[in-house]
Amino acid sequence: MLLTNTWTLVLAAMATTSENPTPFEWYKLLISSFGPGLTTALLVGLFSFFFNRVLERQKRTHAEELLNIGSNLNKSLQEKLETDRSERAELLEHLRRDIQDTLASRARRAEYLRTQVTSLYGPLAFLLESTAIRHKCATDMIDAVTHLNSTLDGQPSNHLAKEKKAKLHGTIEKYLTLAIENTSTTLSLLKSNWGWLDENDRPTITDFMRNADRIDTETKTTDDYSHVAIIYELTISGKAVLAPPGINAGTLAAYFRTRLNEKQQELSGLTGSPIQAKAIEKLAS
């Protein structure tokens, strides 16, 4: 475009000059023809040069800024990752310690329960169950004799002979003696393993021991029990002065059967399956 305009000017200038132009006229013709084009080209070139330099400078500046932003972002991300990694490691360490403490606590509780069951609650439940069974055998025999006597009442020829009655009462006494022996064994067990008894079970046991001592003292060591038994019958305002001693063996056996079952279930829950226990220990290690 620039060359087309220039040649147009040259042709126009040549048309206006004389037929034999002087060198000066040629110089003037060339200057007037090519001067504006060269000036324009120079200006455009200079503008393009400086514009490209500005662009290059801005590109370098933007590139440096982008590098700085990328570097800062990468540094920030690294710091964030390090912080997160540190916090995660700390949390895992706390979790591991908590699991270890929990496992140690469960192990201590399991060992305590195991000792309670084997040293006290298991044997105690057995002795009380056995006492209840022997006491039931005695009361069943008493009820049978009483029923038989009432059935044969009014038939003198069919009354139980004294010898047979003595044998029946002797059998009843044997069952009662076995129950009393169990009570004595139970007291010995409590004496040697009292420390393993739970606090909330002590009122039941102390009531059992009080009645056992009363039975032993008031029925076995008294020369004339009938004189002592009178006090159970005396009343003041319709109430007995002193209730006779007695142990409800069945109720006591049922109570400690339940307590033994509770401890066994708790112990089973603490120990769990071997696979589960190994998994927890591996997590804590």
8 A C-beta contact, residue 280 and residue 107:
no
Tell me which residue of 229, 144, 127 sits closest to 187, measured CA to CA. Answer: 127
Distance CA 108, CA 102 (A): 10
Tokens of 207: 């009531």
8 A C-beta contact, residue 144 and residue 272:
no
Tokens of 188: 């010995």
Beta strands in 132-275 (DSSP E): 235-236, 239-240
Averaging pLDDT over each range in 111-120, 137-146, 236-245, which range is the top one? Answer: 111-120
Residue 168 confidence (pLDDT): 81
Give me the chain's average pLDDT, please.
79
Mean pLDDT over residues 150-162, rounded?
60
Residue 195 confidence (pLDDT): 94
Distances (CA, A) of 211 to 8, 206, 215, 222, 244: 142, 9, 6, 16, 9
Distance CA 52, CA 232 (A): 124
pLDDT tier at 145, thresholds 50, 70, 90: confident
Whether 147 has a pLDDT exceeding 60, the answer reads yes
Residue 251 confidence (pLDDT): 94
Whether 3 has a pLDDT exceeding 50, the answer reads no
Mean pLDDT over residues 146-158, rounded?
66
8 A C-beta contact, residue 34 and residue 6:
yes
The upper half-sphere exposure of residue 70, i.e. CA atoms within 13 Å in the direction of its Cβ, equals 6
Give bridge partners of residue 240 from the DSSP assignment. 235
Residue 19 confidence (pLDDT): 55
Secondary structure of residue 219 in the 3-state scheme: helix
Tokens of 47: 């503008």
Report how far Cα 105 is from the mean position of its chain's Cα atoms: 12
pLDDT tier at 2, thresholds 50, 70, 90: very low
8 A C-beta contact, residue 232 and residue 196:
no
Helix (H) or strand (E) holding 278: helix 274-284
Residue 89 confidence (pLDDT): 87
**Using the 8-state DSSP alphabet, how is residue 244 labeled?**
P
* Tens of pLDDT, residues 24-51: 555 565 566 555 666 776 777 777 777 7
First-to-last C-alpha distance (Å) of the chain: 85
Secondary structure of residue 59 in the 3-state scheme: helix
Which residue in this structure is represented by tokens 């009570």? 183
Distance CA 176, CA 249 (A): 12
Distance CA 122, CA 113 (A): 11
Pairwise pLDDT comparison (162 vs 118), residue with the higher score: 118
- Which residues fall within 8 angstroms of residue 193, CB to CB, at 6 or more apart? 119, 120
Rg (CA), the chain: 57
Distance CA 183, CA 128 (A): 8
Whether 183 has a pLDDT exceeding 70, the answer reads yes
